[in-house]
Amino acid sequence: MFEIGKIYNRRADIHGRYKGQQYGGIATPAAHPYVFIFTGDSGSEYGYIDSFDPNGTFKYTGEGQEGDMKMSKGNLAIHDHQKNNKEILLFEYTSRGFVRFLGTCNYVFHHIEERPDRNGYLREAIVFHLDIVNTQNIDAAQALTSEIVESPKAMYITKPSKGHSLQKLREIALSATPTQASTQEKIQSIQNRSVAIKFYAKRRANGICEGCNEIAPFKTKSGPYLEVHHLTRLADGGADLPQNVIALCPTCHRRAHYSLNYLEFNSQLINEVAAIEAKINE
């Protein structure tokens, strides 16, 4: 249906096929089991800043441009998506009218915080915490699902440690969080995944920067110093997929964010990680 990372024309590819509200951040087509949500830079002028929380969830600001946000319409559609058997599909704006598909999300919890509305008045905003599901690795997810059934100590609740093997860290990072788990368990599971993927990248790099292939600049108590960079555009969070993370020396990391040709450099890094991952999976 939608391919992760691919760019779509919102009006033609989404509303042309599924209907739903053509404007605003949340579209709820009546005849299809989807809730489309859109994030992008244009929202930041109305106090909408969507980003990753330290707990690993993606924070998505609800709808309502003036006054306190209410848990109704699109916001309620996100809150109740599991009960209503609807899938949340997350897109980010890449340019006017065009959006990139980032993946399927599950509602975990929400909080209320004070944010300015479009008139600059402080109001109560609903901030959803969503879990972006790794639909890219269906095979891995299915393999893990059977493991969850068989194993009393399920992978999704396994705390990652630096001593774990590359394979074990990958399994934790890719583990699926059961939708029937408690909120507390879900948050723990998401946090485990985001820690696991960072350990994974460092272990895969094995003390050598995956950008420039130089040895890490210095050692720390816990090993060679490298920083984990996420290759997805959504700031420094991103899906917990092995092909989306790279362990870099500080210089390469800064280059990936601040250099004049950072876009070019990032696509170079994406190719390098793809090659490294292909070798591991041989």
Would you tell me which residues interact with Zn ion (CB under 5 A)?
Answer: 209, 211-212, 249, 252
Amino acid at the residue 272 = E
DSSP letters for 31-42:
TSSEEEEEE-GG
Min separation Cβ 282 and Zn ion, Å:
25
Min separation Cβ 197 and Zn ion, Å:
19
Amino acid at the residue 45 = E
Residue (196 or 252) nearer to Zn ion, CB: 252
Q: Exposure string (b/e) for 233-264, b if CB count within 10 Å is 16 or more?
A: ebeebbbbbbebbbbbbeebbebbeeeeeeee
Min separation Cβ 179 and Zn ion, Å:
40
Residue (105 or 269) nearer to Zn ion, CB: 269
- Tokens encoding 200: 């994974």
- Tokens encoding 167: 């394979």
Residue (79 or 230) nearer to Zn ion, CB: 230
Min separation Cβ 249 and Zn ion, Å:
3
Min separation Cβ 208 and Zn ion, Å:
9
Calculate helix-pair angle for 183-205, 166-174, nearest 10 degrees: 150
Residue (135 or 213) nearer to Zn ion, CB: 213
Residue (195 or 249) nearer to Zn ion, CB: 249
Residue (167 or 251) nearer to Zn ion, CB: 251
Min separation Cβ 195 and Zn ion, Å:
23
Name the nearest CA neighbour of 38 among 52, 23, 25.
25
- Tokens encoding 128: 């959803």
The answer to whether the CB of 113 falls within 8 A of the CB of 124 is: yes
Amino acid at the residue 215 = I
Exposed, middle or buried, 48 (CB in 10 Å: 0-12/13-18/19+)? buried
Residue (66 or 236) nearer to Zn ion, CB: 236
The answer to whether the CB of 269 falls within 8 A of the CB of 246 is: yes
Min separation Cβ 260 and Zn ion, Å:
17
**Beta-strand pair 87-95/34-39:** parallel
What ranges in the chain are assigned the alpha helix state H?
16-18, 73-79, 138-150, 166-174, 183-205, 250-258, 262-280
Residue (35 or 252) nearer to Zn ion, CB: 252
Min separation Cβ 246 and Zn ion, Å:
10
The answer to whether the CB of 249 falls within 8 A of the CB of 204 is: no
